[in-house]
Amino acid sequence: MKKIISLFLLMVVFTAMLTSVAFAADEEITIGVFEPFTGENGGGGFQEVLGVRYANEIYPTIEVGGTTYKINLFEVDNKSDKTEAVTAAQSLVSKGVVAVVGSYGSGVSIAAGEIFAEAQIPAMGASCTNPQVTFGNDYYFRVAFLDPFQGTVMANYAIQNGATKAAVITQLGDDYSSGLGSFFVTAFTKLAGEGAVVAQEQFQTNQTDFKAILTNIKALEPDVIFAPSSIVTAPLLIKQARELGITATIMGGDTWENVTIIENAGADSEGVVLSTFFDEAEPATAEAESFVTGFKEYLVANNQPDVIPAVSALGYDAYLAVLTAIKNADSVDPNAIRDALVTTEFDGVTGHISFDENGDADKNMAFIKVVEGGQFKFLQTVTIAE
Amino acid sequence: MSLVTILQHLLTGVSLGGAYALIAIGYTMVYGILRLINFAHGEIFMIAGYLMVFSMASFPWYIAIPIVLIGTVVIGVVIERVAYKPLRSAPRMSVMISAIGVSYLLQNLATYLFTGLPRGYPEIPFLKKIFQFGSLSASFVTFLTPVLTILLVILLLYIINNTKIGMAMRAVAKDYETAEIMGIQINSVVSITFAIGSLLAGVGSILYFTDRMSVNPFSGSLPGLKCFVAAVLGGIGSIPGAVVGGFILGLGETFLVALGYSTFSDAFTFGLLIVMLLVRPTGLFGEKATEKV
The domain spans of chain B are: 16-279
Say whether both A379 and A256 belong to one domain. yes
Say whether both A102 and A153 belong to one domain. no
A379 and A273 Cβ atoms separated by less than 8 Å: yes
Say whether both A35 and A172 belong to one domain. no
Q: How many domains does chain A have?
A: 2
pLDDT value at position B139?
86
Say whether both A42 and A170 belong to one domain. no
In a domain? residue A111: yes
Percentage of chain B modeled with pLDDT above 90? 63
In a domain? residue A42: yes
Percentage of chain B modeled with pLDDT above 70? 97
Tens-place pLDDT, residues A257-266: 888 888 888 8
CB contact under 8 A, A215 and B8: yes
**Given CA atoms A376, A377, A379, A380 in this order, what sign does their dihedral have?**
positive
Say whether both A254 and A313 belong to one domain. no
Residue B225 sits at the chain A interface (C-beta within 8 Å): no
Tens-place pLDDT, residues A326-357: 999 999 999 999 999 999 999 999 888 999 98
| Region A18-38 average pLDDT | 75
- Which residues fall within 8 angstroms of residue A137, CB to CB, at 6 or more apart? A113, A114, A116, A117, A359
B16-279 CATH, one of 1.10.287, 1.10.3470, 3.10.20, 1.10.890: 1.10.3470
In a domain? residue A360: no
For residues A161 and A8, which has the higher predicted lDDT (pLDDT)? A161
CA atoms of B26 and B16, how far apart (whole Å):
16
pLDDT value at position A1?
65
Structure confidence at residue A71 as a pLDDT band (50, 70, 90):
very high
For residues A24 and A93, which has the higher predicted lDDT (pLDDT)? A93
pLDDT value at position B125?
84
CA atoms of A363 and B52, how far apart (whole Å):
45
In a domain? residue A361: no
- Secondary structure of residue B123 in the 3-state scheme: coil
| Nearest chain B alpha carbon to A245 | B137
- Secondary structure of residue A214 in the 3-state scheme: helix
Tens-place pLDDT, residues B114-131: 877 778 888 888 888 888
pLDDT value at position A24?
47
Mean pLDDT of chain A: 89
Residues in a beta bridge with A353: A346
Containing structural domain, residue A122? 10-145+283-355
CB contact under 8 A, B258 and A216: yes
Say whether both A334 and A256 belong to one domain. no
Say whether both A67 and A98 belong to one domain. yes
Closest partner residue to A235 (CB to CB) among B139, B213, B254 is B213
pLDDT value at position B208?
92
pLDDT value at position A385?
57
CA atoms of A105 and A343, how far apart (whole Å):
26
Tens-place pLDDT, residues B56-115: 999 999 999 999 999 999 999 999 999 999 998 899 889 999 999 999 999 999 988 987
B232 and B283 Cβ atoms separated by less than 8 Å: yes
pLDDT value at position B229?
94
B273: left (phi over 0), alpha (psi -120 to 50) or beta: alpha
- Containing H/E element for A322? helix A310-329
**Res A276 pLDDT > 60:** yes
pLDDT value at position B289?
46
Say whether both A319 and A215 belong to one domain. no
**Res A386 pLDDT > 60:** no
For residue A35, which of A89, A94, A98 has the smallest C-alpha distance?
A89
Residue A262 belongs to domain with CATH number: 3.40.50.2300
Farthest-apart Cα atoms in chain B, separation: 61
Residue of B139, B253, B262, B270 to mutate for A, most A C-beta atoms under 10 A: B262
Determine phi and psi for A72, rounding to 5 degrees: -100, 145
Tens-place pLDDT, residues B13-71: 999 999 999 999 999 999 988 888 999 999 999 999 999 999 999 999 999 999 999 99
Q: Of how many residues is chain B composed?
A: 293
Mean pLDDT of chain B: 90
For residues A298 and B261, which has the higher predicted lDDT (pLDDT)? A298
Tens-place pLDDT, residues A111-153: 999 999 999 999 999 999 999 999 989 999 999 989 999 999 9
**Res A206 pLDDT > 90:** no
| Nearest chain B alpha carbon to A200 | B260
Say whether both A324 and A190 belong to one domain. no
In a domain? residue A329: yes
Say whether both A131 and A82 belong to one domain. yes
Closest partner residue to B130 (CB to CB) among A79, A243, A263 is A243
| Region B213-224 average pLDDT | 87
**Res A254 pLDDT > 60:** yes
A203 contacts on B by Cβ (under 8 Å): 257, 262
Residue B221 sits at the chain A interface (C-beta within 8 Å): no
Residue of A211, A233, A247 to mutate for B, most B C-beta atoms under 10 A: A211
In a domain? residue A163: yes
Among residues 11-40 of chain B, which lie with CB inside 8 Å of chain A?
12, 16
| Region A231-246 average pLDDT | 89
Say whether both A18 and A90 belong to one domain. yes
Closest partner residue to A212 (CB to CB) among B115, B120, B258 is B258
For residues B212 and A91, which has the higher predicted lDDT (pLDDT)? A91
| Region A81-89 average pLDDT | 92
CA atoms of A146 and A150, how far apart (whole Å):
6
CA atoms of B270 and B226, how far apart (whole Å):
8
CA atoms of A367 and A323, how far apart (whole Å):
26
CA atoms of A20 and B28, how far apart (whole Å):
53
pLDDT value at position B17?
94
CA atoms of A135 and B179, how far apart (whole Å):
70
| Region A219-230 average pLDDT | 94
Measured in angstroms, the CA of B216 and the nearest CA of chain A are apart by: 9
Say whether both A371 and A231 belong to one domain. yes
Structure confidence at residue A217 as a pLDDT band (50, 70, 90):
very high
- Residue A369 neighbours by CB distance under 10 Å: 21
Predicted ipTM beyond 0.95: no
CB contact under 8 A, B262 and A245: no
In a domain? residue A262: yes
For residue B15, which of B229, B157, B209 has the smallest C-alpha distance?
B209
Structure confidence at residue B216 as a pLDDT band (50, 70, 90):
confident
CB contact under 8 A, A42 and B262: no
Closest partner residue to A245 (CB to CB) among B116, B137, B260 is B137
Residue B45 sits at the chain A interface (C-beta within 8 Å): no
